[in-house]
Amino acid sequence: MTATTAPTSPIASRPDFAAIAAWVQSGSKVLDLGCGDGSLLCYLRDTRNVRGYGVEIDDANVLACLNNGVNVIQGDLESGLSSFESGSFDYVILSQTLQAMKHTEGIVREMLRVSREGIVSFPNFGYWKNRLQVVSGHMPVSETLPYQWFDTPNIHLCTLGDFEAFCHQHGVHILERRVMNGDHQITLAPNLLGMLAFYRFERQK
Amino acid sequence: MQDSILTNIVTPQYARFDTPLYLKSGAVLDSYELVYETYGELNAARSNAVLICHALSGNHHVAGSYADNPKNLGWWDNMIGPDKPIDTHKFFVVGVNNLGGCHGSTGPASINAKTGKHYGADFPVVTVEDWVETQVRLADYLGIDHFAAVMGGSLGGMQAMRWTLDFPERVRHALVIAAAAKLTAQNIAFNDVARQAIITDQDFHGGDYYSHGVVPRRGLRLARMLGHITYLSDDSMAAKFGRELRNGTYAFGFDVEFEIESYLRYQGDKFADQFDANSYLLMTKALDYFDPAHEHNGDLSAAFRAVTANFLVLSFTSDWRFSPERSRTIIKALLDNELNVSYAEITSSHGHDSFLMEDRHYHQLVRAYMDNIVT
């Protein structure tokens, strides 16, 4: 489930990791869904002293997690999180994977079952460069959407507005939003100027 | 010791124990011997020891070969040795033949000092817990306070699990491969058919066949043939044998015709020549009885409450005898106790036997895990 994760780069140059870490309390227990090579968990372990597990389907990534000394459970997110007890985590993170999930509603429901809070990040389809490419007659190909229409794993792309409407309809209470363009935070017209969106949310009380 | 690292030549060693062993069944063994082998060197801090637990038909000869029989390679030689996934440059590896076995440790075929005869049917039923207890005594004997890792596949994985339950302070990592937290009814059923094949062999003589100068060869052979079918997958059998005929045409009789028949009979014969039928009965019973959740009203998570070890759990997609689902049950219990655990489901067509096979990804996973163990 990590096909859309950007190629591994030195952790220090991952502003998306820093954005997520800023929301994670020190010493908390974290589940990282679609954890790739485990570098986000390494980052959180080193900067936030978190304990946790990654879930990953890809063999090479599972091996990379072991090399990185990260707990990883090989499995398919589409079939749920039945190995994990309800309420057993402080945070469940779905980093740049939501848009590649078949069962969007299912995974969000599962996230809020096993955890107090959920954190997702996804490429904002409403980013102006994406819109421009669609207007010019082509599916967007960019840094955050590096695939051609025919080979993309991204089947559920959305905009900030779409995701917020989804949350509203599905009893998901958004606690915080952060919109980034590279390492800059975007506050003005985020649905147009933001490349990557981050949300922290909980169950609607 | 240095020689053995360089040449991979090992020598079986024997340890004798005269402290009575109180078995789970209530029986007592006053004294017994264990045969074991070691590979690599125990470091000064005595922190690099790895115990390899064997499965149903395994033994202490896990790696390397013998000076007088260089072709006799250890059963896990592809996994353990210099520069192998369990690197004997780094780790001091111990292989031991379990009590009740037939490769040198005290078992049914040994002479009972009290009677001067073979134990035979008098040898008590042993459990995984009993084995772990004897392995702890061997560790004491070797001056090993704690193991960096205890590792095993199948029944060996059950022993690794049991170590973490019974001696949490003496094991830092457990590698549990192609195992299960308990057998299913189907597993027990297979074991019982195997046992019945042995017990109903007219040469069995209630387990005291030694004094009759015979062995229940037909029964043991059938038991192994049945077992072997369950260790392979339908796909691997189809790929290896299909419906190939030895002579290319039907003979309309009951002799060996299909290649698979030939293969199974060969495996059965080979096994019957080298394994003791009573030991086979004991090993299958140890499998059947293993169920750590049993003392906790079926709650495996409760059983793991005192565990502190870190785990690597591995399963193989085509293993229907100890399926990935069985490993995920173990994972759930470990996660419930917030233990460090990694789990990989390895794509393999070789069924339960996959854990013995050389597979690049499988071996990379073990190597990666072992590389991160601090010694």
CA–CA gap between residue A8 and residue B219 (Å, rounded): 57
Question: Within a domain: residue A174?
Answer: yes
Interatomic CA distance for residues B11 and B61, integer angstroms: 9
**Whole-number pLDDT of residue A8:** 46
Contact pairs from chain A to chain B, CB under 8 Å: 55
Nearest CB to B340 within list A59, A65, A71: A71
pLDDT interval class at A1 (50, 70, 90): very low
CA dihedral sign of residues B326, B327, B330, B331:
negative
A41 domain residue, yes or no = yes
Q: Note whether residue A127 is domain-resident.
A: yes
- Angstrom distances, CA of residue B235 to CA of B225, B238, B328: 18, 5, 23
Q: What is the pLDDT of residue B1?
A: 43
Q: Is the pLDDT of residue A201 over 90?
A: yes
DSSP label at B292?
G
Q: Which of A29, A62, A67 sits opposite B344 (nearest CB)?
A: A62
Least CA distance to A74: which residue of chain B?
B344
Is A29 close to B338, i.e. CB distance below 8 A?
Answer: yes
Domain CATH for A45: 3.40.50.150
More confident residue, A79 or B329: B329
ipTM above 0.85, yes or no: yes
Does the CB of A75 have a partner CB in chain B at under 8 Å? yes
Specify the pLDDT at position B2: 44
Does the CB of A84 have a partner CB in chain B at under 8 Å?
Answer: yes
Question: Which pLDDT score, from 0 to 100, does residue A205 have?
Answer: 85
Query: Would you say residue A110 lies in a domain?
Result: yes
How far separated are the first and last CA of chain B, in Å rounded? 19
A2 belongs to a structural domain: no
| pLDDT score for B27 | 98
pLDDT at A80: 86
**For chain B, which residues score pLDDT lower than 50?**
1-6
Active-site annotation holds for B319: yes
Q: How confident is the model at residue A197 (pLDDT cuts 50, 70, 90)?
A: very high
Type of residue at B294: H
Give which of A93, A43, A105, A97 is closest to A70, Cα–Cα. Answer: A43
- The answer to whether residue B296 neighbours chain A at the CB level (below 8 Å) is no
Percent above pLDDT 90 for chain A: 89
Number of separate domains in chain A: 1
User: In percent, how much of chain B has pLDDT > 70?
Assistant: 98
Dihedral sign computed on CA atoms, order A67, A47, A163, A148 = negative
pLDDT computed for residue B7 by the predictor: 61
Confidence of residue A14 (pLDDT cuts 50, 70, 90): confident
Nearest to A66 among B336, B346, B368 (CB): B368
- Whether A40 is in a domain gets the answer yes
Residues 6+ positions from A156 with CB-CB distance below 8 Å: A98, A99, A100, A101, A102, A104
User: Contact B341/A84, CB-based, under 8 Å?
Assistant: no
Whether A5 is in a domain gets the answer: no
C-alpha distances out from residue B347 to A197, B318, B327, B355, Å: 35, 7, 14, 11
**Confidence bin at A4 (pLDDT 50/70/90):** very low
* Per-chain mean pLDDT for chain A: 93
Angle, nearest 10°, between helix axes B277-289 and B155-166? 50
What's this model's pTM, rounded to 2 decimal places?
Answer: 0.94
- The residue of chain B nearest to residue A69, with distances taken between CA atoms, is B372
Q: pLDDT tens-digit profile of A89-119?
A: 999 999 999 999 999 999 999 999 999 999 9
pLDDT value at position A11? 59
For residues A172 and A118, what is the distance between their CA atoms, to the nearest angstrom? 10
Report pLDDT digits (tens) over A18-45. 999 999 999 999 999 999 999 999 999 9
**Residue whose structure tokens are 């997690």:** A65
The pLDDT of residue A12 is above 80? no
β-strands B86-87, B80-81 pairing: parallel
Is A4 within a domain?
A: no
- Structural domain including A163 reads 10-203
Residues of B in contact with A62 (CB under 8 A): 342, 344, 365
